[in-house]
Amino acid sequence: MLTGVLAGLALLLIGIGIGAGGGNDEVAAPTVADTSSPATPDESSSEPAPSPTKTSAAPPKEPAEPKSLKYSGRGDKVLKISKPADGANLIKLTHEGDSNFIVDQLDSDLDETENLVNEIGKYRGTTILDVAEEEETKRLRIQADGKWTIVLSDLTTAREMDNSASGRGDDVLIYRGGAGVAKLTHNGESNFIVEFYNEDGSENLVNEIGKYSGESVIGSGPGFLQLHADGKWTVKVE
């Protein structure tokens, strides 16, 4: 089944925003018509001197910066949201409490479609909202005992990796390399799940609990790596 991340992949493929290849192309300067005074006509000529032609050549517009929307609060909340982009979005979440921090996607009927976060205590992470094509989140059900923040942005604003990356906790990466062997490590105590999305679909690279060190085959980019982790992790593609 096609996933909601395909819209973001399409932007990466054609080079919109942060896409490869098209972002640094030079734009030719607009041509400005000569509006100086016309030359004095020959006195023997019966033709009137032509009037200068005025044109308005506006410079090309710069690509719009991807929008982001930020929400903040404290404690339990059923939060009505808007999405800055159609389809899948990047969602960054933080929590400053000591107890449960649970965030679920809710559709227009207030039915749960996906659990985004289920942690205890302080939390800081990034994941994908509406990863599946049929999902269209209207509200987020938040269970928390402390302050929280949520930032929604275009999926293509995720951080990019070359052939390696490292981090801690949940994260989303843009991968543009070719197919290869992905070496992955994790030093946490809970779930370590890595999903890869490209134009061919999605593939699970790792689904383990606790410390992990292993290899998996990754398809060619551009694509997105979605990592669920509670500890430090590394990814290296060879």
User: Distance between CA atoms of 171 and 206, rounded to whole angstroms?
Assistant: 14
pLDDT tens, 39-96? 444 444 455 555 554 544 555 555 566 689 999 999 999 999 999 999 999 999 999 9
pLDDT tens, 99-153? 999 999 999 999 999 999 999 999 999 999 999 888 899 999 999 999 999 999 9
* HSE-up of residue 35 (Cα within 13 Å, Cβ side): 7
Closest by CA position to 66, among listed 158, 184, 145, 143: 158
pLDDT tens, 174-185? 999 999 999 999
* Of 119, 139, 157, the domain-final residue: 157
- Residue 36 predicted with pLDDT over 50: no
Q: Which two tokens stand for residue 119?
A: 């942690």
Look at 11-20, 190-199, 216-225 and tell me which has the smallest mean pLDDT: 11-20
109 shares a domain with 1: yes
Contacts of 120 (CB under 8 A, 6+ apart): 99, 100, 101
Domain count, the chain: 2
177 shares a domain with 121: no
Predicted structure pTM score: 0.75
- Domain of 123 in residue numbering reads as 1-11+67-157
Q: What is the CATH number of the domain that holds 144?
A: 2.60.120
Establish if 162 belongs to a structural domain. Answer: yes
User: Distance between CA atoms of 200 and 95, rounded to whole angstroms?
Assistant: 35
142 shares a domain with 108: yes
150 shares a domain with 238: no
- Residue 28 predicted with pLDDT over 60: no
* Number of residues written out for the chain: 238
